[in-house]
Chain A
Amino acid sequence: MPEKHPDELELLAYVEEELAAEARRDVAEHLVACRSCAESVRRLEAGRSALRAAPLLDLPVGRREELVAALPDRRDRWRAFRPARRALVVAAPVAAAAAFVGVFVLATQVDLGGGDDDVSGEAAQVAEDAGGGEELGATATDRASGGDATAESAPSAPAGVPVRSVAGTPAEVVRLLEAEGIPAEVVEGAVVADGRAGEVEAALADQPDGPVGVYVR
């Protein structure tokens, strides 16, 4: 028998087959001659078998619905998902109807936003865009067709309304934010920052308005 017993971690690694070939061979040789280590290995394997045979358990029937219903309202900025704008050509009647729905949805969103100044700014901006018709129409059609389905189809798009919409390219805006210590990334042409809205606004205070939407998460 080798003079030194493997320690707990080595025995676990042996049982889990994490040892390199040479170390594995050494432990195996030791186990042939050492009853106490062999017993540890046997117990490690027996304990593992008992635990791994345990099934996953299901919540009592109906309990998930109760759990979800019990979630409180979360008072954060983003209450609704809005997909990235996409230039889609849609038939004129659909666009007209959808634009109407879109304005209604935006109005609802403004109400929900409470005292948030940025929201009204965004609403005004989109109201201007509404003159253009089709682009907004496409967006509104997405919404009208069911928020959940829309969200599944473009899940990584920024949601809600931007903190700011600034000049430059998304990459430049990310650099500006990161220079202020705010992690940020480009998501579908917009910038999503990991920070508080106030910090992001302060970091971009000198940046003129432009096409790059900046969101916070």
Chain B
Amino acid sequence: MDPDELLVRRAQRGERFAFEKLVERHEQRLYTLAARVLGSREDAADAVQEALVRAWLALPKFRRDARFSTWLYRIVVNAAHDVRAKRREPTLEEPSDPADPRDRFADRELSGDLQRALDALDETYRTAVVLYDVLGCSYAEIAELTEVPEGTVKSRIFRGRTELAALLGTPAEPAESNT
């Protein structure tokens, strides 16, 4: 059973408090998804904001045949796409000082090598690898929320990962191998 089901039922009936609990439960993943896809913390917060409004309004129609998280991710991916379309210009943030991780907007990852490499990927590859490797979605969930066959999802993960590795110029002995 979807671990969110009880809260979802309550939120569907208009209980704001239940929806707030769901937001609390998922906000980090929704924000990470939007930020990795968009490459900008501010745009990501806007996309999450827009997605939550859409989700709240559409919730009575959510039929619970998908996991709630999958449904939310789909709305975030669409909202991020819309935010990007509105911007129409490169969205990478001003590099912030990586020495101060407590700064509200400082984020080494977003301005770092990984994000630059992600930004250079085709958007469909980027979305697939973020959903699969960062958020831990299954092939089936990604297929459902991006509306493509599982084979396409796997192909996008293959290309996303291999292109990313090439962009990062990983050495023959990757530094990550000891983690």
A80–B13 CA distance with the chains assembled, in angstroms:
8
The answer to whether B158 touches A51 (Cβ under 8 A) is no
Given A51-B130, A59-B27, A74-B14, A155 and B157 contact (CB-CB distance below 8 Å): no
Q: Which residue of B15, B29, B49, B134 contacts A81 across the interface (Cβ within 8 Å)?
A: B15
| Cβ distance A34 to chain B, nearest Cβ, rounded Å | 15
Interface residues in B1-49 by Cβ distance below 8 A to A read: 6-7, 9-10, 12-20, 23-24, 27-29, 31-32, 35-36, 41, 44-45, 48-49
Chain A residues closer than 8 Å to B44, beta-carbon distance: 57
Question: In residues 36-69 of chain B, which contact A (Cβ within 8 Å)?
Answer: 36, 41, 44-45, 48-49, 52-53, 56-57, 59-60, 63
Which chain A residues (130-157) contact chain B, with CB distance < 8 Å?
147-148, 151, 155-156
**Number of A-B residue pairs at CB separation under 8 A:** 165
- How far, in Å, is A109 (CB) from chain B's closest CB? 12
Q: Tell me whether A71 and B56 are in contact (CB under 8 A).
A: yes
Taking CB as reference atom, which chain A residue is nearest B160? A47
The contact of B179 among A9, A53, A72, A78, by CB within 8 Å, is: A53
- Taking a contact as CB atoms under 8 Å apart, the answer to whether B176 and A46 are in contact is yes
Interface flags, B158-175, vs A, CB<8A=1, else 0: 111111111010101010
B119 at interface by CB-CB < 8 Å: no
Query: From residue B63, how far is it (CB to closest CB) to chain A in Å?
Result: 7
Within 8 A of A (CB), among B115-159: 117, 129-130, 133-134, 151, 154-155, 157-159
Whether B109 is near chain A, meaning CB under 8 Å from some CB there, is: yes
A13 neighbours in B (Cβ, 8 Å): 154
* In contact, A81 and B174 (Cβ under 8 angstroms): no
A57 interface neighbour in B31, B155, B159, B162, Cβ under 8 Å: B31
Q: Please choose the segment from A25-33, A36-44, A173-181 that sits at the chain B interface, where 4 or more of its residues have CB less than 8 A away.
A: A36-44
| Interface of A toward B, CB cutoff 8 Å | 8-9, 11-13, 40, 42-61, 63-64, 66-68, 70-72, 74, 76-81, 147-148, 151, 155-156, 159-160, 194, 217
Closest to B34 in A: A57
Inter-chain contact A71/B13, CB cutoff 8 Å: no
**A3, chain B: closest CB distance, angstroms:** 22
A60 to B130, CA, bound (A): 20
Give A60 to B46 CA distance when docked, in angstroms.
Answer: 12
Cβ contact within 8 Å between A151 and B10: yes
A68's contact among B14, B23, B60, B179, by CB below 8 Å, is which? B23
Whether B155 and A9, one on each chain, are in contact in the complex, defined by CB atoms closer than 8 angstroms, is: yes
Whether A59 contacts B162 by the Cβ 8 Å rule is: no
Whether the Cβ atoms of A74 and B57 lie closer than 8 Å is: yes
Chain A contacts for B130, CB-based, 8 A: 51
Identify which of B6, B159, B163 contacts A156 (C-beta below 8 A).
B6
A43 to B161, Cβ gap below 8 A?
yes
A64 contact set on B, CB distance < 8 A: 23-24, 27
CB distance from B92 to the nearest CB of A (A): 15
- Cβ of A67: which chain B residues have Cβ within 8 Å of it? 23, 27, 48-49, 52
Contact A58 B161 (CB under 8 A): no
Residues of A within 8 A of B164 (CB): 47, 50-51
A60 to B14 Cα, complex, angstroms: 27
**B53: which of A72, A77, A147, A155 is its contact (CB, 8 Å)?**
A72
